[in-house]
Amino acid sequence: GEISLREHEVLSLCSEQDIEGWLEGVNSRGDRGLFPASYVQVIRAAEPPPPARYANVPVGGFEPLPSPAAFKPAAQQPPPEPFPPPPAGYPFPPYGGSYQPSQGSDDDWDDDWDDSSTVADEPGALGSSYPDYEAAGGGASGRYRLSTRSEPSLGPRGAGHPPGHPHPPGGGGAAKSSATVSRNLNRFSTFVKSGGEAFVLGEASGFVKDGDKLCVVLGPRGPEWQENPYPFQCSIEDPTKQTKFKGMKSYIAYKLVPSHTGQQVHRRYKHFDWLYGRLAEKFPVISVPHLPEKQATGRFEEDFISKRRKGLAWWMDHMCSHPVLAQCDAFQHFLTCPSTDEKAWKQGKRKAEKDEMVGANFFLTISVPTGPGASLDLQEVESQVDGFKAFTKKMDESALQLNHTANEFARKQVTGFKKEYQKVGHSFKCLSQAFELDQQAFSAGLNQAIAFTAEAYDAIGDLFADQPRQDLDPVMDLLALYQGHLANFPDIIHVQKGALTKVKESKRHVEEGKMELQKAEGIQERCNIISFATLAEINHFHKIRVRDFKSQMQHFLQQQILFYQKVTQKLEEALHKYDNV
């Protein structure tokens, strides 16, 4: 966030790089944050250094300063004080999760199983790479975590340096010229919030159980997620209105029947919403499909319930089809926990919320191919990702255009076409009524045939009005699901691009003799893991896209053919009425 400044105050710069006119630094009160570059003048090394009162900056707590910037030499600093805890009401959680549960009024959230526990409330929930503030000697509160960029300065468990871990400034290695890969100035970027930066810089550590491992394998199209050995599907049926609190509270429950258990369970929309939030936070390089939108009013109307059920069915299909999401513990708990066992539901819910394999630790769970021929060429990866980025942009534009066109066409069929055909039918009917004034026996057959033609056109108008829900609506449902996926990929690509930037930076340091080769290789190896996962997700997206659009276009054309066959049948029936006139 932004920090306040006073005139003539001297600040310590964290980096001379400005981002969109902002610099990052520490003011005289020890607050670290951003301030406008135009407000300050940089003091060079030749000028007097700042007074010793700035020595409360924790050793290794911030990035090493560029050599030209003024700063008191580390050797002359008094022992560091612990990092101050965030102020009360600090608005940002200690982990990165871009998902924020929506606060709409659809389906209450203050239900009996909704307790106040969240990941941020559980001490140590994020694993050993985010130690509790209390463990670092920081007072009574154990709620806030410190990101351990320089873990050795935090206590005994930081002894030694993991590969690729930055050395604290002023440490034993100060005699030798050394450099670390800098942290991003924008601490709210997806790369930082997802834990990707901490992982690439070697700051993630934790024990990965066999059940948590996610395997990427080399397939015919490149890296792929290892297939689910036990594939399954899950149907969503019979949305029913239910009540609680003696009828004071109403909600819609959906019946889920997973094929691998055969046991039906009932879930509300808020349960879907909770699951989506957990998965979107846990899997930063996987595109978790978006749920159909919330609706505050009219949510018990039949058309809305039917539309939402279809949207949830598409969502469930994509969840079950994804090799990683389908096997996730939180998703399996959602599918299999009996609706009547409230205790088991709460236990599974809390377990998912205390999952330690999130943020930087998530990337530790990814297992990639090793051995000869398994390494990725960084330039080729960058080229593939750039190509996919251009593809998603174009697909998003064309999906929006098709959705607008289909919506407009459906609207015309429901209102305009129906009205026009029925206007033609009404005109034929008026003609037959006029002919009926002639009482000649030989004209009776003609009158009846024209009246039948009028009814045929009236019926064709109704067919046009009913048709969009058979062919155009399913296409628009699919486009809505894919627009959600396309909205996810910029963040996924950003994580991969951020990792690639760190590799380039480390290579430059090696060439300049400022970084050990082993440390740079560690950064590249961890970037490779993110690249493998990103390419696997891109391949899965293409595979599922071809499957879905093939199926949906076949369905659309089949429905169009059936529709025009019905129209033709109506016209043929009318035509035959004239045979005996």
Q: Where are the domains of the chain?
A: 1-40, 234-367, 378-577
Of 159-168, 336-345, 376-385, 387-396, where does mean pLDDT reach its minimum? 159-168
**Amino acid 210: pLDDT:** 78
Query: Is 547 annotated as ligand-binding?
Result: no
- Tokens 């149907």 locate to 235
Residue 351 pLDDT exceeds 80: yes
**Amino acid 45: pLDDT:** 61
Query: Is 270 annotated as ligand-binding?
Result: yes
Helix (H) or strand (E) holding 255: strand 249-258
Average pLDDT over residues 209-224: 88
Q: Which residue has the higher pLDDT, 148 or 236?
A: 236
**Amino acid 333: pLDDT:** 94
HEC secondary structure over 20-65: CCEEEEECCCCCEEEEEHHHCCCCECCCCCCCHHHHHCCCCCCCCC
Cβ-in-10-Å burial (0-12, 13-18, 19+) of 526 comes to buried
Sign of CA dihedral 148, 154, 157, 160: positive
Helix (H) or strand (E) holding 421: helix 418-435
For residue 305, what pLDDT band results from cuts at 50, 70 and 90? confident
CA 65 to chain centre: 35
**Amino acid 442: pLDDT:** 83
Residue 364 pLDDT exceeds 70: yes
Residue 190 pLDDT exceeds 60: yes
**Amino acid 227: pLDDT:** 92
pLDDT tens for 541-576 read: 999 999 999 999 999 999 999 999 999 999 999 999
- How many Å apart are CA 578 and CA 445, to the nearest integer? 8
CATH number of 1-40: 2.30.30.40
pLDDT tens for 504-536 read: 988 888 888 888 888 888 888 889 999 999 999
Residue 444 pLDDT exceeds 90: no
- How many Å apart are CA 376 and CA 528, to the nearest integer? 7
Residue 281, classed as helix, strand or coil, is: helix
Q: Which residue has the higher pLDDT, 102 or 397?
A: 397
The full length of the chain comes to 581
For residue 577, what pLDDT band results from cuts at 50, 70 and 90? very high
Q: How far is CA 443 from CA 17, 89, 447, 449, in A?
A: 93, 88, 6, 10
Cβ-in-10-Å burial (0-12, 13-18, 19+) of 72 comes to middle
What does R_g of the chain's alpha carbons equal in angstroms? 32
310-316: long-range contacts (C-beta < 8 A, 24 or more apart)?
Answer: 310/473, 310/474, 310/477, 311/477, 311/480, 311/481, 312/236, 312/254, 312/272, 313/235, 313/236, 314/289, 314/477, 314/478, 314/481, 315/272, 315/289, 315/290, 315/291, 315/481, 316/234, 316/235, 316/236, 316/256
CA 76 to chain centre: 47
Residue 489 pLDDT exceeds 60: yes
As its CATH architecture, domain 234-367 has 2-Layer Sandwich (3.30)
252 and 565 Cβ atoms separated by less than 8 Å = no
- How many Å apart are CA 352 and CA 125, to the nearest integer? 11
pLDDT tens for 80-115 read: 444 444 444 434 333 333 334 443 434 443 344 443
Phi, psi of 17 (to 5 degrees): -75, 125
Of 173, 130, 170, the residue nearest 151 (C-alpha): 130
Task: Please report, in angstroms and rounded to a whole number, the separation of the first and last CA atoms in the chain.
Answer: 86
The two tokens of residue 234 are 């899950």
Average pLDDT over residues 404-416: 93
Mean pLDDT over the full length of the chain: 77
- How many Å apart are CA 213 and CA 529, to the nearest integer? 13
484 and 290 Cβ atoms separated by less than 8 Å = yes
pLDDT tens for 110-166 read: 344 443 333 333 333 333 333 333 333 333 333 333 333 333 333 333 333 444 444
**Amino acid 184: pLDDT:** 66
Could you tell me where the beta strands, DSSP code E, fall in 169-220? 214-219
Average pLDDT over residues 432-460: 90
Check for a shared fold between 1-40 and 234-367: no
**Amino acid 359: pLDDT:** 81
Q: Which residue has the higher pLDDT, 205 or 524?
A: 524
**Amino acid 203: pLDDT:** 80
Q: Which residue has the higher pLDDT, 44 or 402?
A: 402
DSSP letter assigned to residue 132: B
Residue 455 pLDDT exceeds 80: yes
Instruction: Provide the β-strand partners of residue 223.
Output: 218
pLDDT tens for 547-556 read: 999 999 999 9
CA 534 to chain centre: 13
For residue 185, what pLDDT band results from cuts at 50, 70 and 90? low
- How many Å apart are CA 12 and CA 401, to the nearest integer? 51
- How many Å apart are CA 151 and CA 504, to the nearest integer? 24
Residue 448 C-beta-side C-alpha neighbours within 13 Å:
13
Average pLDDT over residues 179-194: 70
pLDDT > 90 fraction of the chain, expressed in percent and rounded: 40
Helix (H) or strand (E) holding 423: helix 418-435
CATH number of 378-577: 1.20.1270.60
DSSP letter assigned to residue 417: I
Q: Which residue has the higher pLDDT, 488 or 118?
A: 488
Query: Is 267 annotated as ligand-binding?
Result: no
Average pLDDT over residues 265-277: 92
Helix (H) or strand (E) holding 241: strand 234-244
The two tokens of residue 25 are 């630094």
Q: Which residue has the higher pLDDT, 451 or 137?
A: 451
Could you tell me where the beta strands, DSSP code E, fall in 4-81? 12-19, 22-26, 32-36
